[in-house]
Chain A
Amino acid sequence: QVQLVESGGGVVQPGRSLRLSCAASGFIFQNYGIHWVRQAPGKGLEWVAVVWYDGTNKYYSDSIKGRFIISRDNSKSTVHLEMNSLRDADTAVYYCTREKELEAPFDLWGQGTLVTVSA
Chain B
Amino acid sequence: QSVLTQPPSLSGAPGQRITISCTGSRSNIGANYDVHWYQHLPGAAPKLLIYADSGRPSGVPDRFSGSRSDTSASLAITGLQAEDEADYYCHSYDISLSGYVFGTGTRVTVL
Contact = CB atoms under 8 A, between A and B. Distances in A.
Interface string B68-108: 00000000000000000001010101000111111111000
Nearest to A65: B99
A45 B46 contact: yes
A109 B91 contact: no
Question: Which secondary structure dominates chain B's binding surface?
Answer: strand
Contacts of A46: 2, 102
Interface string B24-63: 0000000001101010100011111001100001000000
A35 interface: yes
Nearest to A95: B45
Contacts of B34: 103-105
A62 B97 contact: yes
Contact of A44 (B52, B93, B98, B104): B104
Given A46-B2, A106-B91, 20 more contacts: A44-B2, A44-B87, A44-B102, A44-B105, A45-B40, A45-B102, A47-B99, A47-B100, A47-B101, A47-B102, A50-B100, A60-B99, A62-B99, A97-B46, A102-B93, A106-B46, A106-B48, A109-B45, A110-B45, A111-B44
Interface of B: 2, 33-34, 36, 38, 40, 44-48, 51-52, 57, 87, 89, 91, 93, 97-105
